[in-house]
Amino acid sequence: MIRLPKYIHNSQGTLWLTEDERDNLKISYRIKEVLFEESSPFQHVMVLDSFDFGPMLVLDGVVQTTSKDGHIYNEMITHVPLSVHPRPQDVLIIGGGDCGAAKEAAKYESVRRIDLVEIDEAVVRASKRYMPEVSGNLSDPRVHYYYDDGVDFAKRASAAYDVIIVDSSDPVGPAQMLFEPAFYESLHRALREDGLMVCQSQSPIFHGDIMEQTYRRIGHIFPHTRLYTAVVPTYPGGLWSFTLGSKRELPEPERIRFNKTASYANQELVRRCFSLPAFLKERLELSADAARAH
């Protein structure tokens, strides 16, 4: 009998991955083949070739990105801050081991250095080898890989970056520190005086509390904060939020220019991702009012 990797089960001759992170909702993906499996010092890493989404990166049994839709997340976490900054030169990516954010950042001619700090080398290796649609099999000489703890790395930097992208997994386990105020303070120090940061701030529908807390924490440290959304089909709820924290005033959405070739992002979307649904706008306004009254 062949041993099945952790998290995979065989049902009547068919392989399935069932995400087990949620108590009340289970999503099962039919799998063609296990392309990569390794227990790294940090987590259990797999690339599974799925029927519906092509190769998928799976960490500790949870789908992180897929070949079919991973570009949406990576384009939106990268192109919004890089379009907002007038002339980004030095970019720091924390997390982002699938290399997709680095691939998008490399589209900017003004960018001269991209530091990618991923704690788990196995994630980068697996993504480059088995998910070229996401990683772009990146060999741009401007990209520098550091297999290091993002929190420590950020602490050591000072006024060194124009844009910092925090492309973390969910705030459980190793990524939890990436949602803490102390970390945002390090990012503030690591940015130049006109710098800005962005982070993924979870689902407005299923993790509204984390989203609101992230928005508030970044708002305590950065004078200018703005939230935007994108649709990421394989994330629960589809709608996903991102939060910008900037040292200098953010431009009005209508003034943002974007002219890169991308699959999801275009200038209209990069401007309009800041238009929030009624319930979300109201929630952030109430949160801001409460913070002021405090």
* Nearer to a second copy among residue 176 and residue 263 (C-beta): 263
56 binds a second copy (CB under 8 A): no
- Concatenated DSSP letters for 144-181? EEE-S-HHHHHHH--S-EEEEEEE---SSGGGGGGGSH
168 is in an annotated binding site: yes
Please give the angle made by the CA atoms of 82, 86 and 91, to the nearest 5 degrees.
40
Q: Which two tokens stand for residue 212?
A: 């609101």
Smallest CA-to-CA distance from 37 within 57, 62, 17 is with 57
Q: For the CB of residue 179, give the shortest distance to a second copy in the complex, in Å.
A: 22
Pseudo-torsion of CA 237, 23, 18, 169, nearest 10°?
60
Give the sign of the dihedral formed by CA 88, CA 92, CA 94, CA 97. positive
Q: For the CB of residue 271, give the shortest distance to a second copy in the complex, in Å.
A: 8
Neighbours of 18 (CB within 10 A): 13
174 is in an annotated binding site: yes
* Nearer to a second copy among residue 26 and residue 257 (C-beta): 26
String of contacts with a second copy for each residue 170-209, x by CB under 8 A: -----------------------------------xx---
Greatest C-alpha distance within the chain = 64
String of contacts with a second copy for each residue 214-253, x by CB under 8 A: ---------------x-xxx-xxxxx--------------
170 is in an annotated binding site: yes
Among 165, 196, 265, 284, binds a second copy (CB under 8 A): 265
**Per-residue buried b or exposed e for 24-50, using 16+ beta carbons within 10 Å of the residue's own CB:** eeeeebebeebbbbeeeebbbbbbbbb
**Catalytic site positions:** 167
Q: For the CB of residue 83, give the shortest distance to a second copy in the complex, in Å.
A: 14
Question: Residues annotated in the binding site for spermidine, as ranges?
Answer: 98, 167-170
| Residues that bind a second copy in the complex, under the rule CB under 8 A | 16, 22-30, 50-52, 68-69, 72, 205-206, 229, 231-233, 235-239, 262-266, 268-269, 271-272, 275-279, 281
